[in-house]
Protein backbone atom coordinates (compact mmCIF):
# COMPACT_ATOMS: atom_id res chain seq x y z
CA UNK A 1 0.00 0.00 0.00
CA UNK A 2 1.16 3.51 -0.84
CA UNK A 3 -0.38 6.25 1.33
CA UNK A 4 0.18 9.81 0.15
CA UNK A 5 1.87 11.93 2.84
CA UNK A 6 0.76 15.46 3.63
CA UNK A 7 2.17 18.07 1.28
CA UNK A 8 2.62 15.68 -1.65
CA UNK A 9 1.09 16.48 -5.02
CA UNK A 10 -0.99 13.29 -4.83
CA UNK A 11 -2.53 14.30 -1.48
CA UNK A 12 -3.29 17.82 -2.75
CA UNK A 13 -4.97 16.36 -5.83
CA UNK A 14 -7.04 13.92 -3.74
CA UNK A 15 -8.19 16.78 -1.49
CA UNK A 16 -9.52 18.52 -4.60
CA UNK A 17 -11.37 15.36 -5.57
CA UNK A 18 -8.84 14.29 -8.22
CA UNK A 19 -7.38 10.83 -7.73
CA UNK A 20 -7.02 8.70 -4.63
CA UNK A 21 -4.78 9.21 -1.57
CA UNK A 22 -3.90 5.48 -1.41
CA UNK A 23 -2.84 2.95 -4.02
CA UNK A 24 -2.54 -0.81 -3.77
CA UNK A 25 -0.11 -2.98 -5.74
CA UNK A 26 0.10 -6.77 -5.61
CA UNK A 27 3.31 -8.73 -6.11
CA UNK A 28 4.29 -12.35 -5.75
CA UNK A 29 6.81 -11.93 -2.95
CA UNK A 30 8.19 -9.30 -0.56
CA UNK A 31 11.81 -9.13 0.62
CA UNK A 32 12.45 -7.45 3.93
CA UNK A 33 15.53 -5.47 4.98
CA UNK A 34 17.22 -8.65 6.19
CA UNK A 35 17.39 -10.03 2.62
CA UNK A 36 20.94 -10.55 1.41
CA UNK A 37 22.26 -9.92 -2.07
CA UNK A 38 22.77 -13.66 -2.56
CA UNK A 39 19.11 -14.36 -1.73
CA UNK A 40 18.02 -11.61 -4.11
CA UNK A 41 20.16 -13.15 -6.85
CA UNK A 42 18.80 -16.64 -6.23
CA UNK A 43 15.16 -15.53 -6.37
CA UNK A 44 15.39 -13.07 -9.27
CA UNK A 45 17.90 -13.57 -12.09
CA UNK A 46 19.43 -16.98 -11.41
CA UNK A 47 17.23 -18.56 -14.08
CA UNK A 48 18.33 -15.96 -16.62
CA UNK A 49 21.98 -16.65 -15.81
CA UNK A 50 21.36 -20.33 -16.53
CA UNK A 51 19.73 -19.41 -19.85
CA UNK A 52 22.68 -17.15 -20.68
CA UNK A 53 25.13 -19.98 -20.05
CA UNK A 54 22.91 -22.22 -22.18
CA UNK A 55 23.19 -19.87 -25.18
CA UNK A 56 20.33 -17.38 -24.74
CA UNK A 57 20.36 -13.62 -24.31
CA UNK A 58 19.37 -11.77 -21.14
CA UNK A 59 18.89 -8.15 -20.10
CA UNK A 60 18.61 -6.70 -16.57
CA UNK A 61 17.48 -3.13 -15.83
CA UNK A 62 17.66 -1.38 -12.47
CA UNK A 63 15.06 1.39 -12.38
CA UNK A 64 13.85 3.85 -9.75
CA UNK A 65 14.07 7.37 -8.41
CA UNK A 66 17.39 8.96 -7.62
CA UNK A 67 19.10 7.76 -4.41
CA UNK A 68 17.03 4.56 -4.29
CA UNK A 69 19.98 2.14 -4.31
CA UNK A 70 20.08 1.04 -7.94
CA UNK A 71 23.87 1.08 -8.22
CA UNK A 72 24.15 -0.80 -4.92
CA UNK A 73 21.79 -3.47 -6.24
CA UNK A 74 23.94 -3.94 -9.34
CA UNK A 75 27.43 -3.60 -7.81
CA UNK A 76 26.98 -4.20 -4.08
CA UNK A 77 29.74 -3.96 -1.46
CA UNK A 78 32.78 -6.10 -0.59
CA UNK A 79 30.74 -8.04 1.96
CA UNK A 80 27.53 -8.11 -0.08
CA UNK A 81 28.43 -8.40 -3.81
CA UNK A 82 25.65 -7.18 -6.06
CA UNK A 83 24.01 -8.88 -8.99
CA UNK A 84 26.78 -8.13 -11.50
CA UNK A 85 29.64 -9.69 -9.46
CA UNK A 86 27.46 -12.73 -8.78
CA UNK A 87 26.67 -13.17 -12.48
CA UNK A 88 30.38 -12.98 -13.28
CA UNK A 89 31.22 -15.45 -10.54
CA UNK A 90 28.58 -17.90 -11.76
CA UNK A 91 29.92 -17.61 -15.30
CA UNK A 92 33.50 -18.35 -14.27
CA UNK A 93 32.31 -21.31 -12.21
CA UNK A 94 30.53 -22.64 -15.28
CA UNK A 95 33.50 -22.34 -17.67
CA UNK A 96 36.17 -23.30 -15.14
CA UNK A 97 38.75 -25.59 -16.75
CA UNK A 98 37.29 -25.09 -20.24
CA UNK A 99 38.38 -21.54 -21.05
CA UNK A 100 39.59 -20.73 -24.54
CA UNK A 101 42.98 -19.14 -23.84
CA UNK A 102 43.67 -17.71 -27.30
CA UNK A 103 42.30 -14.28 -28.22
CA UNK A 104 41.86 -14.95 -31.94
CA UNK A 105 38.04 -15.23 -31.75
CA UNK A 106 36.18 -12.07 -30.73
CA UNK A 107 32.55 -10.88 -30.75
CA UNK A 108 31.63 -8.95 -33.88
CA UNK A 109 28.65 -6.65 -34.48
CA UNK A 110 25.67 -7.92 -32.42
CA UNK A 111 25.55 -11.71 -32.76
CA UNK A 112 28.58 -12.66 -34.89
CA UNK A 113 32.22 -13.56 -34.19
CA UNK A 114 35.45 -12.41 -35.84
CA UNK A 115 38.66 -14.30 -36.50
CA UNK A 116 41.61 -12.06 -35.54
CA UNK A 117 45.06 -11.99 -37.10
CA UNK A 118 48.38 -11.77 -35.24
CA UNK A 119 48.47 -7.94 -35.39
CA UNK A 120 44.91 -7.66 -34.14
CA UNK A 121 45.64 -10.07 -31.27
CA UNK A 122 48.61 -7.86 -30.27
CA UNK A 123 46.34 -4.83 -30.23
CA UNK A 124 43.82 -6.63 -28.02
CA UNK A 125 46.51 -7.67 -25.55
CA UNK A 126 47.97 -4.13 -25.51
CA UNK A 127 44.57 -2.57 -24.79
CA UNK A 128 43.95 -5.00 -21.95
CA UNK A 129 47.43 -4.46 -20.50
CA UNK A 130 47.04 -0.67 -20.65
CA UNK A 131 43.86 -0.83 -18.57
CA UNK A 132 45.34 -3.11 -15.93
CA UNK A 133 48.55 -1.04 -15.76
CA UNK A 134 46.57 2.01 -14.62
CA UNK A 135 45.90 0.33 -11.25
CA UNK A 136 49.53 -0.01 -10.15
CA UNK A 137 49.53 3.34 -8.40
CA UNK A 138 45.92 3.27 -7.21
CA UNK A 139 45.64 2.26 -3.58
CA UNK A 140 41.87 2.32 -3.27
CA UNK A 141 38.77 2.70 -5.33
CA UNK A 142 35.91 3.14 -2.90
CA UNK A 143 33.66 6.15 -3.26
CA UNK A 144 32.92 7.65 0.12
CA UNK A 145 29.80 9.63 0.96
CA UNK A 146 29.68 11.90 3.98
CA UNK A 147 26.06 11.27 4.86
CA UNK A 148 23.99 8.85 6.86
CA UNK A 149 20.43 7.59 6.63
CA UNK A 150 17.80 9.00 9.01
CA UNK A 151 17.11 6.82 12.00
CA UNK A 152 13.44 6.48 10.98
CA UNK A 153 14.26 5.31 7.47
CA UNK A 154 13.02 1.78 6.82
CA UNK A 155 13.76 -0.39 3.82
CA UNK A 156 11.54 -2.82 1.95
CA UNK A 157 11.95 -4.88 -1.17
CA UNK A 158 9.22 -6.04 -3.50
CA UNK A 159 9.71 -8.82 -6.02
CA UNK A 160 7.48 -9.70 -8.95
CA UNK A 161 8.13 -12.48 -11.46
CA UNK A 162 5.88 -12.83 -14.50
CA UNK A 163 5.82 -15.49 -17.20
CA UNK A 164 8.47 -14.19 -19.56
CA UNK A 165 9.16 -10.53 -18.76
CA UNK A 166 10.07 -10.63 -15.09
CA UNK A 167 9.67 -7.43 -13.09
CA UNK A 168 11.63 -7.34 -9.87
CA UNK A 169 10.94 -4.46 -7.49
CA UNK A 170 13.67 -4.30 -4.92
CA UNK A 171 14.90 -1.65 -2.53
CA UNK A 172 18.33 -1.82 -1.03
CA UNK A 173 20.26 0.61 1.13
CA UNK A 174 21.82 3.31 -1.09
CA UNK A 175 25.39 2.59 -0.10
CA UNK A 176 28.46 3.86 -1.96
CA UNK A 177 28.82 2.23 -5.41
CA UNK A 178 31.99 0.22 -5.00
CA UNK A 179 33.34 -3.21 -5.83
CA UNK A 180 35.62 -5.49 -3.89
CA UNK A 181 39.13 -5.93 -5.24
CA UNK A 182 38.59 -9.64 -5.05
CA UNK A 183 35.47 -11.71 -4.54
CA UNK A 184 35.22 -15.03 -2.80
CA UNK A 185 33.44 -17.88 -4.47
CA UNK A 186 29.79 -18.22 -3.70
CA UNK A 187 29.17 -20.93 -1.08
CA UNK A 188 27.21 -23.04 -3.56
CA UNK A 189 27.71 -23.28 -7.31
CA UNK A 190 24.94 -21.63 -9.29
CA UNK A 191 25.17 -23.98 -12.26
CA UNK A 192 26.95 -27.21 -13.05
CA UNK A 193 30.04 -27.30 -15.23
CA UNK A 194 29.53 -28.11 -18.91
CA UNK A 195 30.34 -31.47 -20.37
CA UNK A 196 31.98 -32.21 -23.70
CA UNK A 197 34.99 -30.85 -25.54
CA UNK A 198 33.67 -27.33 -26.11
CA UNK A 199 35.57 -24.33 -24.77
CA UNK A 200 34.32 -20.90 -23.74
CA UNK A 201 35.63 -17.35 -24.06
CA UNK A 202 34.15 -14.43 -22.09
CA UNK A 203 34.39 -10.91 -23.56
CA UNK A 204 32.99 -7.85 -21.80
CA UNK A 205 32.28 -4.21 -22.62
CA UNK A 206 31.31 -1.25 -20.45
CA UNK A 207 29.76 1.94 -21.79
CA UNK A 208 27.38 4.70 -20.74
CA UNK A 209 24.64 6.77 -22.36
CA UNK A 210 25.19 10.35 -21.20
CA UNK A 211 23.03 13.17 -22.60
CA UNK A 212 21.88 10.81 -25.40
CA UNK A 213 25.48 10.15 -26.47
CA UNK A 214 27.28 6.81 -26.10
CA UNK A 215 30.74 6.78 -24.48
CA UNK A 216 33.11 3.86 -23.93
CA UNK A 217 34.01 3.59 -20.24
CA UNK A 218 36.97 1.30 -21.02
CA UNK A 219 38.76 3.99 -23.04
CA UNK A 220 41.74 5.63 -21.29
CA UNK A 221 40.86 9.06 -19.86
CA UNK A 222 41.86 12.12 -21.89
CA UNK A 223 45.06 13.92 -20.90
CA UNK A 224 43.47 17.36 -21.25
CA UNK A 225 40.21 18.18 -19.51
CA UNK A 226 39.36 20.65 -22.27
CA UNK A 227 39.08 17.85 -24.82
CA UNK A 228 35.72 16.20 -25.21
CA UNK A 229 35.26 12.45 -25.21
CA UNK A 230 34.55 10.86 -28.55
CA UNK A 231 30.99 9.63 -28.83
CA UNK A 232 30.21 6.26 -30.41
CA UNK A 233 27.60 5.58 -33.06
CA UNK A 234 24.67 3.19 -32.68
CA UNK A 235 24.41 1.20 -35.93
CA UNK A 236 22.49 -1.76 -37.32
CA UNK A 237 23.83 -4.98 -38.77
CA UNK A 238 22.46 -6.91 -41.75
CA UNK A 239 19.82 -8.58 -39.55
CA UNK A 240 18.56 -5.20 -38.29
CA UNK A 241 20.00 -5.65 -34.78
CA UNK A 242 21.63 -2.61 -33.21
CA UNK A 243 25.17 -2.45 -31.85
CA UNK A 244 27.66 0.21 -30.73
CA UNK A 245 30.28 0.80 -33.36
CA UNK A 246 33.97 0.86 -32.30
CA UNK A 247 33.07 -0.28 -28.78
CA UNK A 248 36.03 -1.84 -26.94
CA UNK A 249 35.66 -5.53 -25.98
CA UNK A 250 38.05 -7.06 -23.45
CA UNK A 251 38.72 -10.79 -23.02
CA UNK A 252 38.75 -11.67 -19.28
CA UNK A 253 39.73 -14.93 -17.61
CA UNK A 254 38.94 -14.52 -13.90
CA UNK A 255 37.15 -12.39 -11.32
CA UNK A 256 40.23 -10.30 -10.57
CA UNK A 257 40.39 -9.06 -14.16
CA UNK A 258 36.63 -8.44 -14.15
CA UNK A 259 36.84 -6.32 -10.99
CA UNK A 260 39.70 -4.28 -12.44
CA UNK A 261 37.64 -3.51 -15.52
CA UNK A 262 34.68 -2.49 -13.40
CA UNK A 263 36.84 -0.23 -11.27
CA UNK A 264 38.36 1.32 -14.38
CA UNK A 265 34.95 1.89 -15.95
CA UNK A 266 33.38 3.30 -12.79
CA UNK A 267 36.14 5.91 -12.54
CA UNK A 268 35.19 7.14 -16.01
CA UNK A 269 31.45 7.13 -15.41
CA UNK A 270 29.60 10.46 -15.24
CA UNK A 271 28.51 11.24 -11.68
CA UNK A 272 27.80 14.44 -9.78
CA UNK A 273 26.43 15.67 -6.46
CA UNK A 274 22.81 16.77 -6.15
CA UNK A 275 20.68 17.78 -3.18
CA UNK A 276 19.33 14.23 -2.86
CA UNK A 277 22.49 12.23 -3.63
CA UNK A 278 26.11 13.21 -3.12
CA UNK A 279 27.26 10.80 -5.83
CA UNK A 280 24.34 10.64 -8.27
CA UNK A 281 24.73 8.67 -11.49
CA UNK A 282 24.13 11.07 -14.37
CA UNK A 283 24.12 8.42 -17.09
CA UNK A 284 22.83 4.96 -17.92
CA UNK A 285 25.71 2.49 -17.66
CA UNK A 286 25.58 -0.85 -19.48
CA UNK A 287 27.91 -3.73 -18.67
CA UNK A 288 27.65 -6.47 -21.31
CA UNK A 289 29.09 -9.97 -21.30
CA UNK A 290 29.33 -12.12 -24.40
CA UNK A 291 30.05 -15.82 -23.99
CA UNK A 292 31.49 -17.59 -27.03
CA UNK A 293 31.09 -21.37 -27.19
CA UNK A 294 33.97 -22.65 -29.31
CA UNK A 295 34.43 -26.10 -30.79
CA UNK A 296 37.91 -26.35 -32.26
CA UNK A 297 38.22 -23.14 -34.29
CA UNK A 298 34.49 -22.73 -34.87
CA UNK A 299 32.20 -20.50 -32.83
CA UNK A 300 29.05 -22.52 -32.23
CA UNK A 301 27.08 -19.76 -30.52
CA UNK A 302 27.31 -16.32 -28.93
CA UNK A 303 25.11 -15.47 -25.94
CA UNK A 304 24.77 -12.01 -24.40
CA UNK A 305 24.03 -10.82 -20.85
CA UNK A 306 23.61 -7.08 -20.22
CA UNK A 307 23.12 -5.30 -16.89
CA UNK A 308 21.94 -1.72 -17.21
CA UNK A 309 22.20 0.61 -14.23
CA UNK A 310 19.72 3.33 -15.17
CA UNK A 311 20.17 6.86 -13.89
CA UNK A 312 17.52 7.85 -11.37
CA UNK A 313 14.47 9.83 -12.36
CA UNK A 314 14.21 13.09 -10.44
CA UNK A 315 12.38 16.37 -10.15
CA UNK A 316 14.66 19.34 -10.62
CA UNK A 317 12.96 21.46 -7.96
CA UNK A 318 13.76 18.80 -5.35
CA UNK A 319 17.34 18.11 -6.41
CA UNK A 320 18.13 21.82 -6.98
CA UNK A 321 19.62 21.05 -10.38
CA UNK A 322 20.58 23.85 -12.75
CA UNK A 323 22.93 24.42 -15.65
CA UNK A 324 24.63 21.20 -16.76
CA UNK A 325 22.85 19.15 -14.06
CA UNK A 326 19.50 20.41 -15.38
CA UNK A 327 20.38 19.32 -18.91
CA UNK A 328 21.42 15.89 -17.62
CA UNK A 329 18.20 15.48 -15.67
CA UNK A 330 16.15 16.41 -18.73
CA UNK A 331 17.86 13.77 -20.87
CA UNK A 332 17.57 11.15 -18.10
CA UNK A 333 13.85 11.73 -17.59
CA UNK A 334 13.22 11.79 -21.35
CA UNK A 335 14.93 8.43 -21.96
CA UNK A 336 13.05 6.88 -19.02
CA UNK A 337 9.81 8.31 -20.39
CA UNK A 338 10.46 6.68 -23.76
CA UNK A 339 11.25 3.39 -22.02
CA UNK A 340 7.87 3.63 -20.31
CA UNK A 341 6.18 4.39 -23.63
CA UNK A 342 7.75 1.30 -25.20
CA UNK A 343 6.57 -0.90 -22.30
CA UNK A 344 3.07 0.58 -22.55
CA UNK A 345 2.95 0.08 -26.31
CA UNK A 346 4.05 -3.55 -25.92
CA UNK A 347 1.27 -4.11 -23.39
CA UNK A 348 -1.34 -2.41 -25.61
CA UNK A 349 -0.32 -4.51 -28.61
CA UNK A 350 -0.80 -7.66 -26.55
CA UNK A 351 -4.23 -6.68 -25.24
CA UNK A 352 -5.43 -5.42 -28.63
CA UNK A 353 -3.63 -7.28 -31.40
CA UNK A 354 -5.72 -5.58 -34.08
CA UNK A 355 -4.45 -2.18 -32.96
CA UNK A 356 -0.72 -2.85 -33.41
CA UNK A 357 0.36 0.59 -32.18
CA UNK A 358 3.75 2.12 -32.94
CA UNK A 359 6.53 1.33 -30.45
CA UNK A 360 8.98 4.29 -30.19
CA UNK A 361 12.19 2.26 -29.82
CA UNK A 362 14.20 4.66 -32.02
CA UNK A 363 13.36 7.79 -30.04
CA UNK A 364 16.07 6.98 -27.47
CA UNK A 365 19.52 5.38 -27.65
CA UNK A 366 18.63 3.23 -24.63
CA UNK A 367 15.54 1.59 -26.14
CA UNK A 368 17.07 1.40 -29.61
CA UNK A 369 20.03 -0.62 -28.33
CA UNK A 370 17.82 -3.25 -26.67
CA UNK A 371 15.00 -3.34 -29.21
CA UNK A 372 15.95 -6.89 -30.27
CA UNK A 373 15.62 -8.17 -26.70
CA UNK A 374 12.21 -6.56 -26.25
CA UNK A 375 11.09 -8.06 -29.54
CA UNK A 376 11.88 -11.63 -28.51
CA UNK A 377 15.62 -12.19 -29.02
CA UNK A 378 16.27 -12.69 -25.34
CA UNK A 379 14.60 -12.30 -21.94
CA UNK A 380 14.37 -8.99 -20.09
CA UNK A 381 13.94 -8.26 -16.38
CA UNK A 382 13.24 -4.97 -14.66
CA UNK A 383 14.43 -4.47 -11.08
CA UNK A 384 12.76 -1.40 -9.63
CA UNK A 385 14.29 0.12 -6.50
CA UNK A 386 11.85 1.88 -4.19
CA UNK A 387 12.81 4.75 -1.88
CA UNK A 388 10.39 5.05 1.06
CA UNK A 389 11.28 8.68 1.80
CA UNK A 390 8.13 10.82 1.94
CA UNK A 391 9.68 13.62 -0.12
CA UNK A 392 9.94 11.31 -3.14
CA UNK A 393 6.43 9.84 -2.83
CA UNK A 394 5.10 11.27 -6.11
CA UNK A 395 8.08 9.96 -8.07
CA UNK A 396 7.80 6.60 -6.32
CA UNK A 397 4.11 6.36 -7.21
CA UNK A 398 5.02 6.99 -10.85
CA UNK A 399 7.61 4.21 -10.66
CA UNK A 400 5.04 1.81 -9.20
CA UNK A 401 2.50 2.62 -11.90
CA UNK A 402 5.15 2.03 -14.53
CA UNK A 403 5.98 -1.33 -12.95
CA UNK A 404 2.31 -2.23 -12.94
CA UNK A 405 2.25 -1.65 -16.71
CA UNK A 406 5.38 -3.75 -17.18
CA UNK A 407 3.85 -6.52 -15.08
CA UNK A 408 1.22 -7.09 -17.77
CA UNK A 409 3.77 -7.57 -20.56
CA UNK A 410 4.32 -11.19 -21.56
CA UNK A 411 7.42 -11.49 -23.69
CA UNK A 412 6.91 -14.02 -26.48
CA UNK A 413 10.13 -15.55 -27.76
CA UNK A 414 9.47 -17.17 -31.17
CA UNK A 415 11.31 -20.37 -31.98
CA UNK A 416 12.56 -18.91 -35.26
CA UNK A 417 14.37 -16.12 -33.42
CA UNK A 418 16.72 -18.68 -31.84
CA UNK A 419 17.83 -19.80 -35.30
CA UNK A 420 18.70 -16.22 -36.23
CA UNK A 421 21.05 -16.05 -33.25
CA UNK A 422 23.47 -18.54 -34.83
CA UNK A 423 26.71 -16.55 -35.25
CA UNK A 424 28.56 -15.97 -38.47
CA UNK A 425 32.33 -16.23 -38.40
CA UNK A 426 33.98 -13.29 -40.19
CA UNK A 427 37.60 -12.75 -41.14
CA UNK A 428 40.03 -9.98 -40.24
CA UNK A 429 38.42 -7.62 -42.76
CA UNK A 430 34.92 -8.26 -41.44
CA UNK A 431 33.78 -10.33 -44.44
CA UNK A 432 32.03 -13.66 -43.76
CA UNK A 433 34.33 -16.64 -44.03
CA UNK A 434 31.47 -18.67 -45.52
CA UNK A 435 31.97 -16.75 -48.75
CA UNK A 436 35.30 -18.52 -49.23
CA UNK A 437 33.44 -21.66 -50.20
CA UNK A 438 32.79 -20.09 -53.58
CA UNK A 439 36.52 -20.05 -54.27
CA UNK A 440 37.43 -23.62 -53.29
CA UNK A 441 39.36 -25.74 -55.75
CA UNK A 442 37.68 -28.33 -57.93
CA UNK A 443 39.16 -31.18 -55.84
CA UNK A 444 37.68 -29.69 -52.62
CA UNK A 445 34.32 -29.22 -54.24
CA UNK A 446 34.28 -32.83 -55.44
CA UNK A 447 34.88 -34.00 -51.87
CA UNK A 448 31.29 -33.12 -50.96
CA UNK A 449 29.17 -36.23 -50.58
CA UNK A 450 26.17 -34.74 -52.32
CA UNK A 451 28.11 -33.63 -55.41
CA UNK A 452 27.27 -35.29 -58.72
CA UNK A 453 29.81 -37.64 -60.28
CA UNK A 454 31.64 -35.56 -62.94
CA UNK A 455 34.35 -38.10 -63.65
CA UNK A 456 32.55 -39.32 -66.79
CA UNK A 457 33.34 -36.04 -68.55
CA UNK A 458 36.68 -35.60 -70.31
CA UNK A 459 39.19 -33.26 -68.77
CA UNK A 460 38.91 -30.73 -71.62
CA UNK A 461 35.15 -30.49 -71.18
CA UNK A 462 35.56 -30.05 -67.44
CA UNK A 463 37.97 -27.19 -68.06
CA UNK A 464 35.50 -25.66 -70.50
CA UNK A 465 32.72 -25.94 -67.93
CA UNK A 466 34.92 -24.27 -65.31
CA UNK A 467 35.88 -21.46 -67.70
CA UNK A 468 32.24 -21.00 -68.66
CA UNK A 469 31.19 -20.79 -65.01
CA UNK A 470 34.03 -18.37 -64.28
CA UNK A 471 32.94 -16.15 -67.18
CA UNK A 472 29.34 -16.23 -65.96
CA UNK A 473 30.49 -15.33 -62.46
CA UNK A 474 32.49 -12.34 -63.74
CA UNK A 475 29.57 -11.24 -65.92
CA UNK A 476 27.21 -11.47 -62.94
CA UNK A 477 29.59 -9.46 -60.81
CA UNK A 478 29.86 -6.77 -63.50
CA UNK A 479 26.09 -6.72 -63.79
CA UNK A 480 25.69 -6.35 -60.04
CA UNK A 481 28.32 -3.60 -59.98
CA UNK A 482 26.55 -1.69 -62.75
CA UNK A 483 23.24 -2.08 -60.96
CA UNK A 484 24.77 -0.83 -57.74
CA UNK A 485 26.23 2.19 -59.52
CA UNK A 486 22.88 2.94 -61.13
CA UNK A 487 21.08 2.62 -57.82
CA UNK A 488 23.63 4.87 -56.13
CA UNK A 489 23.25 7.40 -58.95
CA UNK A 490 19.46 7.30 -58.70
CA UNK A 491 19.63 7.72 -54.96
CA UNK A 492 22.09 10.58 -55.33
CA UNK A 493 19.93 12.29 -57.96
CA UNK A 494 16.84 11.81 -55.80
CA UNK A 495 18.66 13.21 -52.79
CA UNK A 496 19.92 16.19 -54.83
CA UNK A 497 16.44 16.79 -56.21
CA UNK A 498 15.00 16.64 -52.73
CA UNK A 499 17.62 19.09 -51.46
CA UNK A 500 16.92 21.45 -54.36
CA UNK A 501 13.19 21.26 -53.75
CA UNK A 502 13.63 21.87 -50.05
CA UNK A 503 15.96 24.81 -50.82
CA UNK A 504 13.43 26.22 -53.26
CA UNK A 505 10.67 25.78 -50.71
CA UNK A 506 12.82 27.48 -48.10
CA UNK A 507 13.54 30.39 -50.45
CA UNK A 508 9.85 30.73 -51.24
CA UNK A 509 9.02 30.72 -47.57
CA UNK A 510 11.68 33.37 -46.94
CA UNK A 511 10.23 35.57 -49.70
CA UNK A 512 6.73 35.15 -48.32
CA UNK A 513 8.00 35.93 -44.86
CA UNK A 514 9.84 38.98 -46.19
CA UNK A 515 6.72 40.24 -47.97
CA UNK A 516 4.67 39.64 -44.85
CA UNK A 517 7.12 41.60 -42.72
CA UNK A 518 7.26 44.38 -45.34
CA UNK A 519 3.49 44.62 -45.35
CA UNK A 520 3.43 44.70 -41.56
CA UNK A 521 6.09 47.41 -41.58
CA UNK A 522 4.11 49.55 -44.05
CA UNK A 523 0.92 49.11 -42.05
CA UNK A 524 2.78 50.08 -38.90
CA UNK A 525 4.26 53.15 -40.67
CA UNK A 526 0.81 54.23 -41.91
CA UNK A 527 -0.58 53.76 -38.43
CA UNK A 528 2.13 55.97 -36.91
CA UNK A 529 1.66 58.58 -39.69
CA UNK A 530 -2.08 58.76 -39.05
CA UNK A 531 -1.45 58.99 -35.35
CA UNK A 532 0.98 61.89 -35.86
CA UNK A 533 -1.52 63.73 -38.09
CA UNK A 534 -4.25 63.24 -35.55
CA UNK A 535 -1.97 64.50 -32.80
CA UNK A 536 -1.00 67.60 -34.83
CA UNK A 537 -4.64 68.35 -35.61
CA UNK A 538 -5.61 68.03 -31.96
CA UNK A 539 -2.76 70.33 -30.93
CA UNK A 540 -3.85 72.96 -33.51
CA UNK A 541 -7.43 72.74 -32.39
CA UNK A 542 -6.34 73.16 -28.78
CA UNK A 543 -4.37 76.30 -29.68
CA UNK A 544 -7.33 77.73 -31.63
CA UNK A 545 -9.62 77.10 -28.68
CA UNK A 546 -7.17 78.82 -26.34
CA UNK A 547 -6.81 81.95 -28.59
CA UNK A 548 -10.48 82.14 -29.72
CA UNK A 549 -12.19 85.64 -29.42
CA UNK A 550 -15.91 86.25 -30.18
CA UNK A 551 -16.71 88.41 -33.24
CA UNK A 552 -18.65 91.06 -31.28
CA UNK A 553 -15.75 91.58 -28.90
CA UNK A 554 -13.31 91.73 -31.82
CA UNK A 555 -15.42 94.40 -33.65
CA UNK A 556 -15.90 96.41 -30.46
CA UNK A 557 -12.18 96.25 -29.77
CA UNK A 558 -11.43 97.26 -33.34
CA UNK A 559 -13.80 100.28 -33.12
CA UNK A 560 -12.23 101.25 -29.81
CA UNK A 561 -8.80 101.07 -31.42
CA UNK A 562 -9.95 103.34 -34.28
CA UNK A 563 -11.37 105.87 -31.80
CA UNK A 564 -8.10 105.91 -29.93
CA UNK A 565 -6.18 106.25 -33.15
CA UNK A 566 -8.32 109.25 -34.23
CA UNK A 567 -7.76 110.86 -30.85
CA UNK A 568 -4.06 110.44 -31.16
CA UNK A 569 -4.14 111.90 -34.68
CA UNK A 570 -6.18 114.90 -33.52
CA UNK A 571 -3.83 115.58 -30.64
CA UNK A 572 -0.81 115.36 -32.91
CA UNK A 573 -2.35 117.83 -35.41
CA UNK A 574 -3.16 120.36 -32.70
207 pLDDT above the threshold of 50 = yes
List 244's β-bridge partners, or say none: 234
Tell me the binding residues: 64-71
Over 70: is that where the pLDDT of 545 sits? yes
296-312: per-residue pLDDT in tens? Answer: 888 899 999 999 998 87
For 316-347, write each residue's pLDDT tens digit: 445 445 456 567 777 787 888 888 888 888 88
- Measured in residues, the chain has a length of 574
Mean per-residue pLDDT for 549-557? 81
- Among candidate residues 70, 140, 15, the one with its CA nearest the CA of residue 385: 70
Residue 58 has pLDDT above 90, yes or no: yes
What does pTM read for this prediction?
Answer: 0.66
Q: Residues at the annotated binding site for ATP?
A: 64-71
Question: What is the rounded end-to-end Cα distance, in angstroms, of the chain?
Answer: 125
The string of pLDDT tens digits covering residues 372-416 is 888 888 888 888 888 888 888 888 888 888 777 777 776 665 554
**Range ranked top by mean pLDDT from 188-202, 378-392, 455-469:** 378-392
CA angle 347, 385, 61 (to 5 degrees): 55
Q: Which of 143, 146, 175, 145 is nearest to 263 (CA)?
A: 143
Q: Which of 51-55, 136-140, 195-199, 379-383 has the lowest mean pLDDT?
A: 136-140
pLDDT at 28 over 50: yes
Q: What is the pLDDT of residues 87-111, one digit of tens each?
A: 999 999 999 989 998 888 999 988 8
**What does the pLDDT read at residue 192?**
58
Does the pLDDT of residue 492 top 50, yes or no?
A: yes
Give the other-Cβ count within 10 Å of 274's Cβ: 21
User: Is residue 140's pLDDT more than 60?
Assistant: no
Predicted local distance difference test score (pLDDT) of residue 88: 95
- Residue ranges and CATH numbers for the domains of the chain are 28-426 (3.40.850.10)
Residue 132 confidence (pLDDT) above 70: yes
pLDDT band at 214 (very low <50, low <70, confident <90, very high): very high
- Mean pLDDT score of the chain: 77
Exposure string of 163-198, with b = 16+ CB inside 10 Å and e = fewer, is eebbbbbbbbebbebbbbeebeebeeebeeebeeee
User: What are the tens digits of pLDDT across the range 239-257?
Assistant: 888 999 999 999 999 999 9
Q: Of 263-272, 357-366, 445-454, give the lowest mean pLDDT range.
A: 445-454
pLDDT for res 447:
44
pLDDT tens string 512-532: 899 889 888 998 998 999 999
What is the rounded CA–CA span in Å between residue 34 and residue 297? 48
* Rounded distance between C-alpha atoms, residue 378 and residue 370, angstroms: 10
Determine the average pLDDT of the residues in 487-505. 88
Asked whether the predicted pLDDT for residue 40 surpasses 50, the reply is yes
pLDDT at 139: 37
Amino acid sequence: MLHAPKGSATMKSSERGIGLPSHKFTFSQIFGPETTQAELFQDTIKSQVSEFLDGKNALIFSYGVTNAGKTYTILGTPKEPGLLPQVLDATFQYIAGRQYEAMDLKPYLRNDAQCLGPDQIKQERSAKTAIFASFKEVSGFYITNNWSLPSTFSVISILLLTCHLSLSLSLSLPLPPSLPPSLCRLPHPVVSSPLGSSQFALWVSYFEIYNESVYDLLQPPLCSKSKKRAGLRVCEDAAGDTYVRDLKWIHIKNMEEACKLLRFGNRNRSAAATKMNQSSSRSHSIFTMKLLKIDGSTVQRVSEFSLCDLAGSERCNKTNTFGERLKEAGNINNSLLILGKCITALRNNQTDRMKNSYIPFRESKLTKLFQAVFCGKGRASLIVNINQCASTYDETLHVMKFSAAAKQVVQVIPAKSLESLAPRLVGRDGKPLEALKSYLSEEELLDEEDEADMSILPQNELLNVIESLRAKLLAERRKNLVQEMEIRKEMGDAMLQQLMESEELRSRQMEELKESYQERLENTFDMYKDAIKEHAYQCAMNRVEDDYVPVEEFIAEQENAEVQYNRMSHISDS
